[in-house]
Amino acid sequence: MNSPAENLRWSFFNALKLSMKLELDADTWEYNEEPHVTRRREILAKYPQIKKLMGYDPRIALVVSAEVLIQLLICQVISQANPSWGWLVLLAYVVGATLNHSLASAIHEIGHNLAFGHKRPWANRLLSIWCNLPIAIPLAISYKKYHTDHHRWLGHDQNDVDIPTGLEARLFRHPATKLLWLCAHPFIHALRPFVKSPKPTTPWEVFNFACCLAFDLAVYKFFGVKPLCYLVIGSLFGFGIHPMAGHFISEHYLFSGGQATHSYYGPMNALLFNVGYHIEHHDFPYIPYSRLPEVRRIAPEFYDPLPHHSSLLRVLWDFITKDQLGPHARGVTNENKSNPELYKEVRKDMALRIRPLATQ
């Protein structure tokens, strides 16, 4: 146990490293390992049947294909109806943003190889690119590359690119500037990984870019400029100031003291591929979205007592209006707390169990 002087000195130097990101007491910083590791270990010890939920669910391919085709159908309708720009923007916000954010949530799921399993990474990548097409902005492969670090380095100031930069934390502290930050979130969230922790471009990323460019050109050629604008505007709305985008804020911002991850239990999970079950997801990233509610049902004593969200609109409102919330309100460390060696055996066991849902 550190002395008070050591605690004070430790907190002071961490505050310098944070560049004013958080004003937290020393106790918030002092933990031995990332909490998802501890909970995962305790749950598996008490409920080993949780391992049977690990695997993949290829049915997601049918759902996302329906969403892609719906977006193409809407492009056809826009091409024929030629609505005014006002109606187009409204349609993009209500329908386009919702569908494109749903597809982005599917990209998150597929990025964990939970559509076709870890033995078919190429199939998962192709499906994620298929989801990416109506979004009109190439992101699927790059997202997977950086999201891996989010799990591996959860809460790490440099390597977890989901954590806002020190500049964001200083600039966006007032309700008006936080609203601006949310509106600009599609650009900030897309560019932050390349600023904080850049990685070399991969051939799959080039292929992703080429596919999206070809799709955008095809939409423009066959449907016209308004359908293409509908898709792009829908994506910008969907990742910005939109109810669906509230889950970006709900997941890891410090709404409840030092609790660094929160779940959302509400109706939007149906469109978000259960990404709202975020504590459960970080506890067990190898369980597909369709089985995450079962984790909570099997082990309610580990999840029900934890603070959670029931409204993403309320999340956005609180984020904007409450002084203690904002880009600065994240739990940050400069150490790796994930300790993946604690669940290497779980992964080995999981590899023997991976199979489609239909066979279970």
Query: What is residue 24's predicted lDDT score, i.e. its pLDDT?
Result: 33
Mean pLDDT, rounded, of the chain: 85
Query: What is residue 150's predicted lDDT score, i.e. its pLDDT?
Result: 86
CA distance 172 to 135: 27
Query: By the 8 A CB rule, do 313 and 268 touch?
Result: no
Query: By the 8 A CB rule, do 119 and 286 touch?
Result: no
Is residue 178 a part of any domain in this protein? yes
pLDDT(55) > 80? yes
- Residues of the chain above pLDDT 70, percent: 83
Is residue 42 a part of any domain in this protein? no
Query: What is residue 337's predicted lDDT score, i.e. its pLDDT?
Result: 54
Query: What is residue 335's predicted lDDT score, i.e. its pLDDT?
Result: 59
Indicate the pTM of the whole model: 0.83
Is residue 18 a part of any domain in this protein? no
The least confident of 43-52, 158-167, 240-249 is 158-167
Is residue 86 a part of any domain in this protein? yes
Is residue 273 a part of any domain in this protein? yes
Angle at 293 between CA 290 and CA 294, to 5 degrees: 95
The total domain count for the chain is 1
CA distance 20 to 33: 23
Is residue 19 a part of any domain in this protein? no
Residue in the block written with tokens 């099997």: 298
Query: Which tens digit of pLDDT belongs to each residue from 208-220?
Result: 999 999 999 999 9
Is residue 95 a part of any domain in this protein? yes
Is residue 139 a part of any domain in this protein? yes
Range of the domain at 324: 49-359
Helix/strand/coil for 145: helix
